[in-house]
Amino acid sequence: MQAPQEKTQDPAYPAHWEADVVLRDGGTARIRPITTDDAERLVSFYEQVSDESKYYRFFAPYPRLSAKDVHRFTHHDYVDRVGLAATVGGEFIATVRYDRINAQGRPASAPADEAEVAFLVQDAHQGRGVASALLEHIAAVARERGIRRFAAEVLPANNKMIKVFTDAGYQQKRSFEDGSVHLTLDLEPTAESLAVQRAREQRAEARSVQRLLAPGSVAVIGAGRAPGGVGRTVLRNLLGAGFTGRVYAVNRAFPEGGSRIDGVRAVRSLGDLSEQVDLAVVAVPAERVPEAVAECGEHGVQGLVVLSAGYAESGAAGRERQRELLRQVRSYGMRLIGPNAFGVINTAPGTHLNASLAPEPPRRGRIGLFTQSGAIGIALLAGLHRRGAGLSTFISSGNRADVSGNDILQYWYEDADTDVVLLYLESIGNPRKFTRLARRTAAVKPVVAVKGARHSGSTPPGHAVPVTRVPDAAVSALLRQAGVIRVDTVTELVDAGVLLAGQPLPAGPRVAILGNSESLGLLTYDACLTEGLRPHPPVDLTTAATPEDFRDALARALADEFCDAVVVTAIPWVGEPGYPDEALATALQQATTTAPAKPVAVVHVELGGLAEALASAASTAPRTPHHRAPTAAATSAPNQPPTGNQTAQPAPAPAPHLRHRPDLGGVRLDLADEEQLRRAYAELTHALGKPEELQPVVQAMAPRGVDTVVRAAIDPAVGAVLSFGLAGAASELLGDTGHRLVPATDRDATELVRSIRTAPLLFGWRGSAPVDTAALEELLLRVSRLVDDHPEVVAVSLEPVVVAQHGLSVLGASVRLAPPPPRSDLGPRRLPSY
CATH of the domain at 334: 3.40.50.720
CA-CA distance, 828 to 163, in Å (whole number)? 19
Q: Is residue 625 part of a domain?
A: yes
Mark whether 257 and 403 lie in a shared domain: yes
Q: Is residue 451 part of a domain?
A: no
Q: What is the mean pLDDT of residues 817-826?
A: 78
Mark whether 651 and 750 lie in a shared domain: no
Q: What is the mean pLDDT of residues 361-371?
A: 95
Compute φ and ψ for 367, nearest 5 degrees: -105, 130
Closest by CA to 364, choosing from 353, 379, 375, 378, is: 353
Percent of the chain's residues with pLDDT above 90: 68
Mark whether 615 and 533 lie in a shared domain: yes
| Per-residue pLDDT at 43 exceeds 80 | yes
| Per-residue pLDDT at 648 exceeds 50 | no
Q: For 651, which DSSP code?
A: B
Q: What is the mean pLDDT of residues 375-379?
A: 92
| Per-residue pLDDT at 470 exceeds 80 | no
Q: Is residue 373 part of a domain?
A: yes
Mark whether 609 and 651 lie in a shared domain: no
Closest by CA to 477, choosing from 731, 745, 822, 797, is: 745
Mark whether 149 and 232 lie in a shared domain: no
Percent of the chain's residues with pLDDT above 70: 88
Mark whether 58 and 182 lie in a shared domain: yes
Helices (H), 594-637: 608-615, 630-633
| Per-residue pLDDT at 618 exceeds 90 | no
CA-CA distance, 162 to 142, in Å (whole number)? 20
List all residues 6 or more positions away from 754 whose beta carbon is below 8 Å from its beta carbon. none
pLDDT in tens, 503-528: 888 999 999 999 999 999 999 999 99
Altogether, the residues listed in the chain come to a count of 834
Contact (Cβ atoms closer than 8 angstroms) between residue 794 and residue 719: no
Q: What is the mean pLDDT of residues 110-136?
A: 96
pLDDT at 167: 96
CA-CA distance, 101 to 93, in Å (whole number)? 27
With the CA atoms of 327, 328, 334 and 338 taken in that order, what torsion angle do they form, in degrees rounded to the nearest 10?
-70
Closest by CA to 138, choosing from 85, 186, 182, is: 85
Number of compact structural domains in the chain: 5
CA-CA distance, 194 to 649, in Å (whole number)? 52
Mark whether 114 and 254 lie in a shared domain: no
Mark whether 137 and 81 lie in a shared domain: yes
Q: What is the mean pLDDT of residues 162-176?
A: 94
List all residues 6 or more positions away from 317 whose beta carbon is below 8 Å from its beta carbon. none
Average pLDDT over the chain reads: 88
pLDDT at 810: 94
Residue 611 pLDDT level (bands cut at 50, 70, 90) = low
Of 130-134, 375-379, 422-426, 670-674, the one with minimum mean pLDDT is: 670-674
Helices (H), 699-772: 729-734, 746-755
List all residues 6 or more positions away from 252 whose beta carbon is below 8 Å from its beta carbon. 268, 269
Residue 513 or 8, more confident: 513
Which run of H or E residues covers position 480? helix 472-481
Q: What is the mean pLDDT of residues 190-197?
A: 94
Q: How open is the CA angle 741-744-748, to the nearest 5 degrees? A: 95
| Per-residue pLDDT at 290 exceeds 60 | yes
The reported pTM is 0.84
Of 17-31, 671-685, 717-731, 798-812, the one with minimum mean pLDDT is: 671-685
| Per-residue pLDDT at 627 exceeds 60 | no
pLDDT at 175: 94
CA-CA distance, 619 to 616, in Å (whole number)? 8
Residue 58 pLDDT level (bands cut at 50, 70, 90) = very high
CA-CA distance, 362 to 390, in Å (whole number)? 6
pLDDT at 94: 98
Q: Is residue 200 part of a domain?
A: no
Find the CATH number of the domain harbouring 731: 3.30.470.20
pLDDT at 638: 39
SS3 state at 588: helix
CA-CA distance, 63 to 53, in Å (whole number)? 10
pLDDT at 487: 93
- Domain final residue, candidates 125, 160, 188: 188
Q: State whether the Cα torsion 790-401-22-144 is positive or negative.
A: positive
pLDDT in tens, 756-792: 999 999 999 988 999 999 999 999 999 999 999 898 9
| Per-residue pLDDT at 649 exceeds 70 | no
CA distances in angstroms from 229 to 233, 284, 305, 338, listed in the order given: 6, 10, 16, 18
Q: Is residue 782 part of a domain?
A: yes
Mark whether 765 and 650 lie in a shared domain: no
| Per-residue pLDDT at 82 exceeds 90 | yes
| Per-residue pLDDT at 177 exceeds 90 | no
Q: What is the mean pLDDT of residues 185-193?
A: 94
- Domain final residue, candidates 391, 407, 425: 425
CA distances in angstroms from 84 to 97, 485, 498, listed in the order given: 6, 43, 50
CA-CA distance, 294 to 374, in Å (whole number)? 26
Q: Is residue 608 part of a domain?
A: yes
Q: Is residue 460 part of a domain?
A: no
CA-CA distance, 520 to 603, in Å (whole number)? 9
Q: What is the mean pLDDT of residues 401-421?
A: 96
Could you tell me whether strands 534-535 and 539-540 are parallel, antiparallel, or unpaired per DSSP bridges?
Answer: unpaired
Mark whether 377 and 234 lie in a shared domain: yes
| Per-residue pLDDT at 546 exceeds 60 | yes
Mark whether 320 and 371 lie in a shared domain: yes
pLDDT in tens, 694-739: 667 777 777 889 999 999 998 877 788 999 999 988 888 888 999 9
Per-residue burial over 480-510, b = 16 or more CB atoms within 10 Å of its CB, e = otherwise:
bbbebbbbeebbbbbbbbbbbbbbeebeeeb
pLDDT at 606: 61
**DSSP states of 291-320:** HHHHHHHHHT--EEEE----SGGG-HHHHH
CA-CA distance, 803 to 708, in Å (whole number)? 7
The DSSP bridge partners found for residue 795 are 713, 816
Q: Is residue 52 part of a domain?
A: yes
CA-CA distance, 732 to 727, in Å (whole number)? 8
Inter-axis angle of helices 472-481 and 431-442, nearest 10:
40
Q: State whether the Cα torsion 411-414-416-418 is positive or negative.
A: positive
Which run of H or E residues covers position 275? none
Of 515-529, 555-569, 628-642, the one with minimum mean pLDDT is: 628-642
CA-CA distance, 73 to 92, in Å (whole number)? 13
Provide the total of helices (H) and of strands (E) in the chain, helices listed first.
24, 34
Mark whether 257 and 371 lie in a shared domain: yes
pLDDT at 11: 59
Give me the domain span that covers residue 668: 644-694
CA-CA distance, 326 to 310, in Å (whole number)? 14
CA 790 to chain centre: 22
The DSSP bridge partners found for residue 510 are 534
pLDDT in tens, 567-610: 999 988 765 666 787 888 899 989 988 778 899 998 887 655 55
- Domain final residue, candidates 132, 155, 188: 188
pLDDT in tens, 300-356: 999 999 999 999 999 999 999 999 999 999 999 999 999 999 999 999 999 999 999
| Per-residue pLDDT at 484 exceeds 70 | yes
SS3 state at 88: strand
Find the CATH number of the domain harbouring 544: 3.40.50.261
CA-CA distance, 323 to 453, in Å (whole number)? 23
CA-CA distance, 97 to 110, in Å (whole number)? 17
CA-CA distance, 264 to 235, in Å (whole number)? 9
CA 152 to chain centre: 37
CA-CA distance, 98 to 452, in Å (whole number)? 47
